[in-house]
Amino acid sequence: MSVLVTGGAGYIGSHVVRLLQQRGEQVVVVDDLSNGRAARVGDATVVEVDLATDAAAPALADAFATHGVDAVVHFAARKQVGESVARPAHYWSQNVGGMANLLQAMETAGVGKLVFSSSAATYGAPQSAVVREDGPAEPINPYGQTKLVGEWMSRAAGVAWGLRAANLRYFNVAGAGWDDLGDSAVMNLIPIVFTALDAGEVPTVFGGDYPTPDGSCIRDYVHVLDLARAHLAALDHLGTEERPFDTFNVGSGAGSSVFEVLEVIRRVTGVDVAPDVRERRAGDPPQLVADVSRITSTLGWSTTKDLDDIVGSAWAAWKTNR
């Protein structure tokens, strides 16, 4: 199989690229390299282009034809909640515009399989402690809105021209499958704390007064290597005729608060982590935990690593690359 991975030089994408390579697939990476690094993807072909620009269509058409692409895994997108609140038009242009360009190119080339990188941000601030895929999808920030629209677009393409798509709603992704593929973007909690520790600074926590047991946000943390395995399972699922669902939560099914994560970081690093607790950040729901029964029963996927594994692998990669 030949698989094109958009955003494949980034943190999550590079893990999927490596797993695909390990099982003998041909991989083409499309990435603007704004956050990704070409060195992450080994001998994969790299096409440097921003999917939201006019240059994307001819670049994709050439890649599809040259490499006989059978399927696409789509990661390329902007992903910071706070930035999306401050720059909503930019997020719609990048995330929805990039998705539109990709789907048009796939339709033209006859590439009919897509695994889409969606997000738990599509749920917004759910009332239930654990969220199911068939529950309300009411995003409360532009980032989540663009991801939900991406799901709609993939589903509409299925109706219009037969696209087979799987939308994976990620919960909080962290850790490293290999030391050279650690999260270097410093956009998520664990690398943000590591950066503060390296600088001798106090890490910042946004919100200590949420309606949760310790006042901090609760999130479902999934190891990036487990998440990468979910993409391969979804890709394989698209080749089957029985596909009762097109949307899947990818998480551990258990929640950890920000303060609990900081405690694990203290234990793993041996460094005291006393945070500076500030006001809540716009667009953050108090709690997001996945119901993972659908992906387990349909794709046969489940997590293999816990929060200690996540923090331990993230710290090992961080020390290797700093």
The residues carrying an active-site annotation are 143
For the chain, the first-to-last Cα distance in angstroms comes to: 36
* Dist CA 151 CA 247 (whole Å): 8
Contacts of 254 (CB under 8 A, 6+ apart): 220, 289
Question: Going by C-beta distance under 8 Å and a sequence separation of 6 or more, which residues neighbour residue 59?
Answer: 30, 47, 49
**How big is the CA angle at 147 (ends 146 and 149), to the nearest 5 degrees?**
65
Considering only CA atoms, which of 116, 26, 15, 22 is closest in space to residue 70? 26
**DSSP class per residue in 15-61:** HHHHHHHHTT-EEEEEE--SS--GGGGTT-EEEE--TTSTTHHHHHH
Alpha-carbon span 106 to 69, nearest angstrom: 10
Closest listed residue to residue 303, CA positions, set 233, 217, 218: 233
From the list 275, 283, 288, the residue with the least C-alpha distance to 208 is 275
Contact present, 299 and 234 (Cβ < 8 Å): yes
Q: Tell how strand 164-170 and strand 247-250 pair up.
A: parallel
The encoded tokens of residue 237 equal 């699922």
